[in-house]
Amino acid sequence: MSGQPTPQAAEGAAPAPAGPRPPVVELIGVEKTFDAGTPKAFTALKDLSFRVDDLPGHGELIAIIGPSGCGKSTVLNLIQGFPDVYPPTRGQVRVRGRQVVGPGRDRGMIFQRYSSFPNRTVLRNVTFGLELNRRELGLSRRQMDELARQWIARVGLAGHENKYPHQLSGGQRQRVAIARSLVLKPRIILMDEPFSALDEPTRYDMQKLITGLWHDLEATVFIVTHSIAEAVFLGDRVWLMTPAPGRIGRTFDDVIPPTRDADPLLVQESRAFKDAVGEVAHAFHEIQSGRAG
């Protein structure tokens, strides 16, 4: 059954014990106000707390939905540690028990915009992160190229290695962005409306692709989406955020039907799936209209 998120510790308090493994991601009493102290001040998040525990051999996918402007993307940017958003105004953001200090290769980000470098080929787009981390990874140019080619093939772009982004379709460009992020094998994957600009058949293909790759990596995934159906299909859990200042207003766990390794077209025609979408949509409407308790 869906319900309210569990109360968390106050700002500055130690996280609750989680056994031998620290939480994959934990936010404690997070607030984020942009342009603080100015007439343009806007509080995107307030009193936001959650934890996602480490499940050995089973990376979770958390789908986040909510009204426009409720801080969904801000949550992802804080976890990634992007300097234009991080740090929070108050509270703590922790990854595997350590406070975030900035971006890291343990976290991969995939955006709504096709974020390929226009002056680099598909191959050189995918090797970009490897090049940045070359010393730490200890890879030769040949090894980087080999890894990149493997991932290019895994996302279905074998034979396109020497093309430039302008020579690719939108779906192909998003595949390049996915390969560039996942070639580093991040333990946390952050996805900000990655399929919203795609036509529906391509979107289904991308949903199948990302779930297959996610299962292989056993990573923890956070995906922000405006599509309730997509959230229910992709998510092990669905979090519904309140209007700004955002917090988690409702969570959906048991109502979400199992979809791992399933065909999105078949799943989305099932009665269990339609019932789950209906329940989440009803809660979304209540929260957006201010009627939720």
Preceding omega of 87 cis (within 30 degrees of 0) = yes
The C-alpha atoms of residue 110 and residue 113 are separated, in whole angstroms, by 9
pLDDT score at 223 = 96
Secondary structure class of 140 (helix, strand, coil): coil
Q: Residue ranges of the domains in the chain?
A: 1-101+202-293, 107-185
How would residue 231 be classed by pLDDT, with cut points 50, 70 and 90? very high
pLDDT score at 291 = 62
- Comparing 115 with 137, which gets the higher pLDDT? 137
How would residue 235 be classed by pLDDT, with cut points 50, 70 and 90? very high
What fold is seen in the domain 1-101+202-293?
Answer: Rossmann fold (3.40.50)
pLDDT score at 19 = 52
- Comparing 210 with 182, which gets the higher pLDDT? 182
What interhelical angle do 141-154 and 170-182 show, nearest 10?
130
**Is the predicted pLDDT of residue 290 greater than 80, yes or no?**
no
Q: Which residues pair with 38 in a beta bridge?
A: none
Task: Give the model confidence (pLDDT) of 67-116 as tens digits.
Answer: 999 999 999 999 999 999 999 999 999 999 999 999 999 999 998 766 78
Average pLDDT score over the chain: 88
The C-alpha atoms of residue 102 and residue 84 are separated, in whole angstroms, by 10
Preceding omega of 245 cis (within 30 degrees of 0) = yes
